Amino acid sequence: MFISFFIKEVNMKRYNVAVVGATGLVGLEMIKILHERNFPINELVLIASESSEGKKLKFGEEELNVQSYEEGIFSEIDIALFSAGSAVSKKLAPIAAKSGTVVIDNSSAFRMHNDVPLVVPEVNADHIFEHEGIIANPNCSTIQMAIALNPIYRTTKIKRIVVSTYQAVSGSGKAAIEELTNQTMAVLDNEEIVREVYPHQIAFNAIPHIDVFEDNGFSKEEMKLIHETRKIFNDDSIKINATAVRIPVFKGHSESVYIETESKIEVDEIKRILLETPGVKLVDELKTSKYPLAIMTKYYDEVLVGRIRKDLHVKNGISMWIVGDNLRKGAALNAVQIAEKLIEKGLE
Amino acid sequence: MFISFFIKEVNMKRYNVAVVGATGLVGLEMIKILHERNFPINELVLIASESSEGKKLKFGEEELNVQSYEEGIFSEIDIALFSAGSAVSKKLAPIAAKSGTVVIDNSSAFRMHNDVPLVVPEVNADHIFEHEGIIANPNCSTIQMAIALNPIYRTTKIKRIVVSTYQAVSGSGKAAIEELTNQTMAVLDNEEIVREVYPHQIAFNAIPHIDVFEDNGFSKEEMKLIHETRKIFNDDSIKINATAVRIPVFKGHSESVYIETESKIEVDEIKRILLETPGVKLVDELKTSKYPLAIMTKYYDEVLVGRIRKDLHVKNGISMWIVGDNLRKGAALNAVQIAEKLIEKGLE
């Protein structure tokens, strides 16, 4: 059943790890990051849908076979990283958890469950150990905002947030990358565009519609930003308003974030604490046109923060521009970092 | 000197009109709109830089020659529509005004001058007649927001606005359209991109930088949204925060707008008054994925408003998504509408 076997450091405890949804954009990134970060793997099991069975994926120099789910597949797995959508998570995560595997789930299926910690390691690593078999990875747009705001929140509570997002199509998977590519060429060639992933043309457009709409007029993506941020900070007093928008960018979510803090904090002080914050890179030098950009996520795993400025009319109001890699820190990297924290404290 | 002559309705007063910056994106749109709206023109003079001298431009079926500026060119002009940038406006608009021409200026040169009305006809047409020779056309991103918010403001005062923009490259002129096109092809072909108009790659990216940065950390485009909105509503008590972002869209600015009103107003009430507001089109039916989109500006001169919803945590907080044609209502059409109001009340 296990298709690979590694012993790199004999004295280090090593774990059996599964990636569920291994052939998706986030799954592939998880495999890459596990290798990059030299995660102490004993055996790595790659699971995907039946249609991907038999495919081979690279793990460093090795080639591993992709398997489909079968009963008992989790029995010897210590940690399973799930990124195969909510439906698969709802079905398989409880099975894995029951067999003793710790599931780190990238879907929205369990995020708001009371007995499921929702974790950004830089922000609330202490929540990890409250798990009962499942730990949830927050939504990509939530993770980058939480990381950037956390050091400010620790200095002076944040009373409110108004966020508008500029989200990349890779958040919708491979088909969306293809759709943006194809539609872009069609528009430039003055040909008919084809829509499959998005309800409207995404090429050279901005679509204020991510995930489904709820009865209150907000989209589910917007509600994730609201609910998940409150859960991560364990603070339901933060007033949050969100607008989630898809734009024709391949990778890297950008966010225009306005906050109001409880007490006064100067821009220089914010810059100083962000400079000291792991996982954050301050990019804020207006004279040389330096500020975070979606295309920079090619080079940085950190969340990029810039354009920090004081509101001109509202006391303790601050604006900033936050950019993050939606596939890595926004998904795969955060999940692997949760796994690292788990084993750091000793996984049972 | 005048290169065309029209008499369409004998008994109607007709005017000598000049378009300064006739070969630019907005100038061309002005000429098109003057014709579309059957503006009562006696003679139309097209003025551009020396490099465009001798070019011919269509005005309906006619072909008109483009002239460069020469002394006395405004002496018989009743109305001059300027869209050739601030430097040209600063130099030529006072000369034109002095010779008795009413200048409608699309640049930012005079917008905040005390003796220059800043006009969106749907909002503050009454300000037009306070002019002393120059009337300013607001910034494109300001116009569409003012039109959408005005009917709400007239119902209950707006206390604060937090706006994040998603602006099209056509706002930067023809060269920017070319730059987006060329960079897009370069990225898809995996070739080196060339930057000339924007400081960073605009293809498949989002750039939080429009116009120059001021010392307070805001860009001039953001300051325009703040100052101009207050001037148009003649209300310096509105607290405004703005983030202006360029995205890879050819035409149509989108805006994520959050407001707080003084008293309670229901979403249904807002929709009802927007339905009755000239210049506004309500596009807000989430069940069928109907909301304003930048690409819709191809079909509508109206400002499109949708995604209207109540804030979940803040009393009297409301979010919406506002889209407008940055070249037409955001510039050329607004200027022509000001001219129409001028002659409606009898231009001296």
Give B176-204 pLDDT, tens digit per residue: 999 999 999 999 999 999 999 999 999 99
Q: What is the pLDDT of residues A303-320, one digit of tens each?
A: 999 999 999 999 999 999
CA distance B260 to B258: 7
SS3 content of chain A, % helix, strand, coil (to 5): 35, 25, 40
Residues B116 and B175 in one domain: no
Please tell me whether residue B43 adopts helix, strand or coil conformation: strand
Residues B38 and B134 in one domain: yes
Choose among B184, B208, B312: nearest Cβ to A184. Answer: B184
Answer whether residue B186 is part of any domain: yes
The predicted structure's pLDDT at residue A3: 44
Answer whether residue B148 is part of any domain: yes
Active site (annotated) includes residue B253: yes
User: Cβ contact (<8 Å) for B188 and A181?
Assistant: yes
Optimal mutation site among B198, B286, B287, interface A, most CBs of chain A within 10 A: B286
The predicted structure's pLDDT at residue A11: 57
Does the pLDDT of residue B274 top 80, yes or no? Answer: yes
From the number of C-beta atoms within 10 Å of its C-beta (0-12, 13-18, 19+), residue B241 rates as buried
Residues B149 and B128 in one domain: no
Residues B117 and B164 in one domain: no
Answer whether residue B9 is part of any domain: no
Mean pLDDT over B306-326 rounds to: 97
Optimal mutation site among A251, A257, A295, interface B, most CBs of chain B within 10 A: A295
Residues A159 and A85 in one domain: no
Phi, psi for A181 (deg, rounded to 5): -60, -50
Choice among B131, B140, B200, B209 that is catalytic: B140
| Set of chain A residues whose Cβ sits within 8 Å of the Cβ of B192 | none
B61: which residues sit within 8 A by CB, 6+ positions away? none
Answer whether residue A238 is part of any domain: yes
Answer whether residue A54 is part of any domain: yes
Residues A148 and A124 in one domain: no
The predicted structure's pLDDT at residue A347: 76
Mean pLDDT over A277-285 rounds to: 97
CA distance A97 to B116: 70
Does the pLDDT of residue B47 top 50, yes or no? Answer: yes
Residues B295 and B314 in one domain: yes
| Set of chain B residues whose Cβ sits within 8 Å of the Cβ of A226 | 312
Query: What proportion of chain B, given as a percentage, has pLDDT over 70?
Result: 97
Q: What is the CATH number of the domain that holds A56?
A: 3.40.50.720
Q: Which of A118-122, A343-347, B39-43 has the lowest mean pLDDT?
A: A343-347
Q: What is the pLDDT of residues B246-266, one digit of tens each?
A: 999 999 999 999 999 999 999
Mean pLDDT over B319-345 rounds to: 96
Please tell me whether residue A172 adopts helix, strand or coil conformation: helix
Does the pLDDT of residue A260 top 50, yes or no? Answer: yes
SS3 content of chain B, % helix, strand, coil (to 5): 35, 25, 40
Answer whether residue B269 is part of any domain: yes
| Set of chain B residues whose Cβ sits within 8 Å of the Cβ of A162 | 162, 258
Residues A41 and A113 in one domain: yes
Residues A226 and A264 in one domain: yes
Q: Which of A161-175, A244-258, B11-25, B193-207 has the lowest mean pLDDT?
A: B11-25
The predicted structure's pLDDT at residue A6: 47
Residues A134 and A24 in one domain: yes
Looking at the complex, report in whole angstroms how far the Cα of residue A87 sits from the nearest Cα belonging to chain B.
23
Answer whether residue A209 is part of any domain: yes
Six-digit token pair at A229? 């941020």
Confidence of residue A327 (pLDDT cuts 50, 70, 90): very high
| Amino acid type, B285 | E
Six-digit token pair at A98? 């029951």
Confidence of residue B9 (pLDDT cuts 50, 70, 90): very low
User: Cβ contact (<8 Å) for A243 and B307?
Assistant: yes
Domain that holds residue B101: 15-138+331-344
Q: For A267, which residue in chain B has the nearest alpha carbon? A: B217
By C-alpha distance, which of B276, B269, B272, B308 is closest to B290? B308
Q: What is the CATH number of the domain that holds A318?
A: 3.30.360.10
Does the pLDDT of residue A8 top 70, yes or no? Answer: no
The predicted structure's pLDDT at residue B347: 76
| Set of chain A residues whose Cβ sits within 8 Å of the Cβ of B184 | 184, 188
Choose among A166, A208, A287: nearest Cβ to B247. Answer: A166
Q: What is the pLDDT of residues A218-240, one digit of tens each?
A: 999 999 999 999 999 999 999 99
| Set of chain B residues whose Cβ sits within 8 Å of the Cβ of A171 | none
Total tally of structural domains belonging to chain A: 2
Residues B148 and B128 in one domain: no
Mean pLDDT over A18-29 rounds to: 97
For chain B, the average pLDDT equals 95
Choice among B127, B131, B227, B253 that is catalytic: B253
Looking at the complex, report in whole angstroms how far the Cα of residue A236 sits from the nearest Cα belonging to chain B.
10
Active site (annotated) includes residue B227: no
Answer whether residue B6 is part of any domain: no
Looking at the complex, report in whole angstroms how far the Cα of residue B173 sits from the nearest Cα belonging to chain A.
16
Looking at the complex, report in whole angstroms how far the Cα of residue A294 sits from the nearest Cα belonging to chain B.
6
Mean pLDDT over A149-159 rounds to: 98
CA distance A307 to B59: 44
By C-alpha distance, which of A63, A331, A258 is closest to B163? A258
Choose among B245, B291, B311: nearest Cβ to A209. Answer: B291
User: Cβ contact (<8 Å) for B185 and A181?
Assistant: no
For chain A, the average pLDDT equals 95
From the number of C-beta atoms within 10 Å of its C-beta (0-12, 13-18, 19+), residue B77 rates as buried
Does the pLDDT of residue A141 top 80, yes or no? Answer: yes
Looking at the complex, report in whole angstroms how far the Cα of residue B167 sits from the nearest Cα belonging to chain A.
10
Residues B204 and B163 in one domain: yes
User: Cβ contact (<8 Å) for B205 and A258?
Assistant: no
Looking at B234-332, list the stretches that DSSP marks H as alpha helix, in order from N- to C-terminal side. Answer: 267-275
